[in-house]
Structure 1
Amino acid sequence: MLLTVNGAQAAEKIKLGLGGYFAAVAVAGSQSDGVGQSAANTRNHGFARESEIFFRGETTLDNGISFGVDMQLEGETSADQIDESYIYVQGTFGRVVYGQDDPASDSMYYGSPAPIEGVGLVSPDFVSSVLANGVASPAVKSNISGDADKITYFTPRMSGFQFGLSYTPDTCGAVAAACASDAVGLESQIDTGQQSEAFEGAVNYVRAFKGGEIALYAGMATANVEGTAAAVAAAGAEDQDQWGVGFTLVYGDITFGADYREDNQGTSAANTDRTDYSVGVNYVVGDWTVGMAYAHGEAEAGAGLGKDETDGYQVGAYYALGPGITLTGGMTYWDVDDNLSAAAVENEAKEFVIGTVLEF
């Protein structure tokens, strides 16, 4: 494909470079594993890993406009073997991204720090305990479309402020999306209950001050439910809306942050909304970082039916052994409640983890 901008030519075409990470952890712990309980017959120790290889490249035209590409290959067999894949153009006008990537409401997020590098409490990469209620793990970023094909625009940062907006025609545009009509070409617009035509935007503000930095975030996401009116009503679905706020404060060796998100979950029944929030603090001591965090998620089960709740508590530390080499470890406690107090759903779990994160 030939790209030209006012006849300006690039000094050379894009060359790809390699990058990525490999995270490996060993986990041991205990949870509610009696007869009839959620973790019955579950092993009390194990290993886990997660890795990706990045293929990235960029070139700059003589007029200062840059074009680039980013493709991320999963290191394990996955439904979406290429996790994210997109191209971009950027200059004094801002940045435009096209392809499979998270929306602006996700990528512009600021909030609570993670005490255990590569693990954390909100949407963690590694969860060894059974979180079987309607919440699972807390999630604080506004994100409906995931990595579905989209176009995103980010403004230049002006006086500390930056704005971003994404549009996703169809969430079946993600390779791993479970959609009945997912196929080559234009997608169906009557996949009952699926959320599409999503607009997801955010604004953040970053300001340095003597001894530190403050970052503020606000994001929203809205999408239209698919299906005929009768089918949507029968499924109890509606247009999905999310909004969230957060902040990260760095002062000296201390990083403190918190966040909050509301989600109507795209369900039309009364009292079925979801709320998530988290708070955390990290402290740097030489090459060590120690911290603690708390996260909460709750999902209403319907009028008069109570709610499911998940609470997570975490303390941990990580050590910068060398460039791109981090040793990490800590303890996580999960308290999982079911609106009906079902033993097959509820869980009290302790996880002890030690691991390594290599970045390259």
Structure 2
Amino acid sequence: MKHPILLAFVSMTACLPAMAQENWSVWETDWKAEAGLVLSPGADEQALYRLGLGVDTNRVLDNGLVLGFALQLDAQQDHPARSGFTGIVSDPAPGAPAVAGAFSGLAQAPGPEDEGARGELQTAYLYAEGGYGELRLGRDEGVAKRFSQGAPSLFSTVSLHAPRLDPDGGAIVRADHDLTGPAAKISYTTPRIVGFKGGISYAPDANVRGLDRDPARILPGTAAYPLSDAGEASLSFNHRFRESGVRIRAATAWSRADVDASPVSPVTYGTVETLSVGANAEWKDTIVGASWQGSDNGVSGLSGDYSAWTAGITQSALGFDWGVEYGRANDDAAGVEGESWRAGLARPVTESARIAFGYRYDQLDFAADASSRPLGGEGIVIEITLSH
């Protein structure tokens, strides 16, 4: 299945005129470094971090085509029981099988989980961009994740729409539609026309570890559920209306993949399908938005759906960004419901440093046949982000 992907990329680039005559000695290279520190006094994990180092190098040909390569290495220390969002959130009833959602990664299973700091090569792809759109080949986010829109947040690592770090392990709200993570894939996106832009992605093997998406992780007591033949399609809209001055950003996406679970698995898996929609509106110093996603979690023969929604608003005033966001999620496979909210303020300290200060709340409610685990909590949160 990987050979057609390679042939598609080679065919696109090989047929372009005048490439052999180009001067390949002139390349533009951009380096990127970022770091995030989350401090949560009184939480299970009072200090968590996220680091990233990346490079993008490209060459603009005489005909306007841009050819390039992007690479990024990331590392983080997350909550040991919920590293990368996945993890065991409840114990099953006596005699009940252990269940893990193929999309959410949340599980109802026995046994402890303790994951330490991790580092991953999350980005390594070739790209060709021109008047007909962009083609990417390699380790990269899928179009559903790349196009995702939703509630604004003051936080970059503990937001509700796309959480990265979780001080108390109880944040199960997520709406950024990430099925394939950093798995190697081919993606095509169209140019933006009258505000609209479309895209498709295909990953032959999505069973790849990432920091925020990890279907390859086998939780204690659960069966492996590798994903293959994963396809995604997404449509985004981004347009500023001149008369009102309002900018609207919106996106919807659909994805599916085969779940190749072991025949001895106590739970039957089939295909996993997920749908999402999100939008936000920005005018002057205000942004308001919401998002929703739902997935069957790949589980067959029993209720295992995962769904989540978020809503939020941010406002710039008095030299600060002020904001509040709220979300809820339900995972039938893990037997848990979650409620979360964030509120606070933020401001840049320098051109490359920003600090956010606020209050977080993550509460889990468990099904009657599931035993709870000591996850979730509330308290002050301080987030410091550096970028260059």
Shift in alpha-carbon separation, 1:160–1:122, aligned structure 2, 3 A: closer
Residue 36 of structure 2 corresponds to residue 23 of structure 1: yes
Q: Which residue in 2 is equivalent to 1:262?
A: 294
Q: Any unmatched runs of 5+ in structure 2?
A: 1-9, 78-116, 218-222
Q: Which residue in 2 is equivalent to 1:65?
A: 65
Name the CA distance, whole Å, in 2 between partners of 1:47 and 1:264.
Answer: 34
Name the CA distance, whole Å, in 2 between partners of 1:331 and 1:6.
Answer: 57
Pairing partner for 2:275 from 237, 240, 243 = 243
Q: Deviations over 1:23-73 (max 9, x none)?
A: 12321136xxxxxxxxxxx5xx62221110111111101110001111112
Name the CA distance, whole Å, in 2 between partners of 1:299 and 1:227.
Answer: 19
Name the CA distance, whole Å, in 1 between partners of 2:278 and 2:372.
Answer: 34
Q: Deviations over 1:200-243 (max 9, x none)?
A: 11001111013220012111111122258xx2885311100000
Q: Deviations over 1:258-315 (max 9, x none)?
A: 001010000002322111000000001254111000011101249xxxx410100110
Q: Deviations over 1:164-204 (max 9, x none)?
A: 00000011355786759xxxxxxxxxx97322101111001
Shift in alpha-carbon separation, 1:289–1:127, aligned structure 2, 3 A: same
Q: What residue identity is the alignment partner of 2:184?
A: D
Name the CA distance, whole Å, in 1 between partners of 2:24 and 2:359.
Answer: 51
Q: Which residue in 1 is equivalent to 2:364?
A: 336
Shift in alpha-carbon separation, 1:158–1:286, aligned structure 2, 3 A: farther
Aligned residues: 326
* SS at structure 1 position matched to 2:41: strand
Q: Which residue in 2 is equivalent to 1:142?
A: 177
Pairing partner for 2:256 from 202, 215, 222 = 222
Report sequence identity in percent.
Answer: 20
Name the CA distance, whole Å, in 2 between partners of 1:62 and 1:82.
Answer: 32
Residue 339 of structure 2 corresponds to residue 311 of structure 1: yes
* Aligned 1:288-299 pairs, distance under 5 A: 288-299=320-331
TM-score by length of 2: 0.77
Work out whether residues 151 and 161 of structure 2, in 8 Å CA contact, stay in contact via their aligned partners in 1.
no
Pairing partner for 1:155 from 173, 179, 190 = 190
Name the CA distance, whole Å, in 2 between partners of 1:157 and 1:7.
Answer: 26
Q: Which residue in 2 is equivalent to 1:185?
A: none
Shift in alpha-carbon separation, 1:14–1:71, aligned structure 2, 3 A: same
Q: Deviations over 1:88-122 (max 9, x none)?
A: 10000100011111100110011101133432123
* Aligned 1:1-360 pairs, distance under 5 A: 5-8=16-19, 9-10=22-23, 12-29=25-42, 42=44, 46-75=46-75, 79-131=118-170, 136-172=171-207, 193-209=225-241, 210-226=244-260, 231=263, 235-285=267-317, 287-301=319-333, 307-340=335-368, 344-345=372-373, 347=375, 349-360=377-388
Work out whether residues 150 and 289 of structure 2, in 8 Å CA contact, stay in contact via their aligned partners in 1.
yes
Shift in alpha-carbon separation, 1:170–1:284, aligned structure 2, 3 A: same
Work out whether residues 117 and 318 of structure 1, in 8 Å CA contact, stay in contact via their aligned partners in 2.
no
Name the CA distance, whole Å, in 2 between partners of 1:214 and 1:298.
Answer: 28
Work out whether residues 215 and 225 of structure 2, in 8 Å CA contact, stay in contact via their aligned partners in 1.
no
* SS at structure 2 position matched to 1:107: helix
Q: Any unmatched runs of 5+ in structure 1?
A: 31-41, 181-190
CA shift at 1:13, angstroms?
4.1
Let me know the Cα RMSD of the aligned residues: 2.6
Work out whether residues 20 and 52 of structure 1, in 8 Å CA contact, stay in contact via their aligned partners in 2.
yes
Q: Deviations over 1:98-151 (max 9, x none)?
A: 1111100110011101133432123422211132xxxx5212122221110000
* SS at structure 1 position matched to 2:207: helix
Work out whether residues 257 and 280 of structure 1, in 8 Å CA contact, stay in contact via their aligned partners in 2.
yes
* SS at structure 2 position matched to 1:28: coil
Name the CA distance, whole Å, in 1 between partners of 2:75 and 2:336.
Answer: 34
